[in-house]
Structures are given as C-alpha cells and as structure tokens.
Structure 1
C-alpha cells in the first residue's frame, strides 16, 4: 500500500472515531433526558426559553434549609426560572436515602414541588453526564452539597455558584 493510501485510511479512521465521540456528547443542556425521583423521564428540551437553576442537593447537610429558598424561588419566579434538584451522596454521605425517602423528606419538610431527579453522582469516576457537561462548560464542579449552575434562557451561558450562595441572591441574575 503506498503512503497516500495509508494516510487516507488513517484520516478516515480518525474521522469516524471523532464523529462517534461527538455524537455521544451533549451539545447543549437541552440534549439531556434524566429520570425524576418519581421515575418519569424528563426531557430538558422542555425547559427552553427559561433560565434553569441546577442544584446538587442533600437531606442531611448544613445547607439543606436552602430547599425552602429554592421552593420560594420556584413559586415566586417560576415564570423566569426552572429549579431542578439533583440529590447526591458525594459529600459527607449526607444523602443516604432512596429516591422515595428523598421525595418524602423534601415534601414533608420543605413542601418541594419543583422537579427533583433520581440520586446520582455529581463528581468522581461515576459523575453523571449532566454534571460532566456543566463542568466542561464552566470549568467548575460541585465542591459540596447545594452548589448551583444557572443556565441562561437561551442555554448559551452557564454560571457556577458555590453552596454558600443563597438561591435568593440569584434573583437579580434571572
């Protein structure tokens, strides 16, 4: 085989490999479909046109009272922002419950009515693809429970906020 054919063959193989990898990666936040605590698959394309606040949550954390603030944001500014909660047990083992236990805790203690998703890994080797995507877009990943990502209404801008930022402080960004 002459050198030109070898180079062509190599380029074709690289092209196929690159294309398949690109197809596996989400190109926007709207490409995700994730299971809720109730077992329903939620299509993120349904959130187009509104800001999205993505929060990794835990039931036994010092920041857990932020559930009340997230619910207030959901009730008062639901026309501008969709609040989404993602329970995770990555930090201090502070979310040990099952999906059913988490749902019961959130409703009983905070009256949570915004969408909550099935417990997942938000950091580490088994990091959920959504949080990998958010990390790629912002250069930041959760460092503790109740870290927040605010996605603009057009899906183009994503900002990271640490646990210490109260959800109410984000109202001016909506």
Structure 2
C-alpha cells in the first residue's frame, strides 16, 4: 500500500488536460464526464469501492466537497472493482452511495484504475507522476491546469490537513 507519493509538487510534464482520451469518463448516470469541463478548477479524483474497509471515507469525501465546492473544488469518485470490492452494477453503486452516504458529487461508472485495462486517465497519471492506485480510496489532486499536485494512499483521510492544505492553496 502506498502512502503519500508526492505532495505539493507540480509535475513538470504536460498537464493531463492535454490528453483528450485521458480526461473523459463514463458517467454513472449515463453520458460522460470530462475533466475539461473543470479546467481552471482543482479536481480531487478518488478511486472508490462500496465494500471496502475505507468505504466510510465517503462521509469525509462528501464533507470535503461540501466545504470547498462553492470555491471551485471538484471531487470525482471513480468506483472500481479492480480490488474485488465493488458492487455488481453502476445502479447498485449509485443507490448505495446516495442512500448510505448522501453522495451528490460527480461519480463515474465502474472503471478500471490499474493494470493494462486501466482507464487512460490512470495510465496518464502513472506516466506523468509515477502513481497508480495500490488500493481503493487513493487520491489524486489536480490543479486547474491538469497538473498532478499531490497523491495519497488509502489511509490519508479526505479532510486531513495533508489534503486540505494543498486544496486551500489551489483555491487561494
């Protein structure tokens, strides 16, 4: 399991916004979600799973989103079954997250986050920042230009100072 890989260190490589294939996800509600829609805003991307020991972090993810969304932060939940802890369908995931945790942040369809089948976003993050999720609830913070600002492993809580400090810095 990886802990903080980099914090407050902007990659010198090209921003992830530049890779068009890497920034579009299938939306859990149908259609697509594009990181391009959030250019100029910081985005925290979190690979999630409904049946993981870290699943209670949904409460703190929603709190983070509620605290900073009016200032521009986007929190994007990316459900994944790569660690065999996700429900069977996107509809089940959506219902679970809404009923159990009151989630109203953007959420993708169930998505691969590691290995050869990883979504292009995760492949780009691995290539640009050397970070790939080692478990559920890994976090990737992008600045408004699509640069990776920080990455954190599962144990780092969404409302921890390790995450809120760089979020605050990006919003100021």
TM-score range, shorter chain: 0.7 to 0.9
2:35 corresponds, among 31, 44, 51, to: 44
**Deviations 1:61-85, CA, capped at 9 Å, x for gaps:** 1100010101011111112310001
1:172 corresponds, among 162, 165, 168, to: 165
Matched, 1:82 2:74: yes
Question: Matched residues in 1 for 2:114 and 2:17: separation?
Answer: 18
2:124 corresponds, among 133, 146, 164, to: 133
Question: Matched residues in 2 for 1:71 and 1:148: separation?
Answer: 14
Q: How many residues were matched structurally?
A: 148
> Structure 1 or 2: larger helix share?
1
1:35 corresponds, among 26, 43, 53, to: 26
Higher RCO (C-alpha 8 Å, min separation 6) = 2
| SS of the residue 1:126 aligns to | coil
Instruction: Normalising by structure 1, report the TM-score.
Output: 0.80
Larger Rg: 1
Instruction: Normalising by structure 2, report the TM-score.
Output: 0.81
Question: Matched residues in 1 for 2:17 and 2:145: separation?
Answer: 10
Equivalent residues in 2 for 1:58-137, closer than 5 Å: 58-78=49-69, 79-91=71-83, 93-137=84-128
2:143 corresponds, among 120, 129, 152, to: 152
> Is the contact between residue 138 and residue 159 of structure 1 (CA under 8 Å) also seen in structure 2?
no
Matched, 1:56 2:58: no
Any gaps of 5 or more consecutive residues in structure 1? 1-25
Q: CA RMSD in A?
A: 1.5
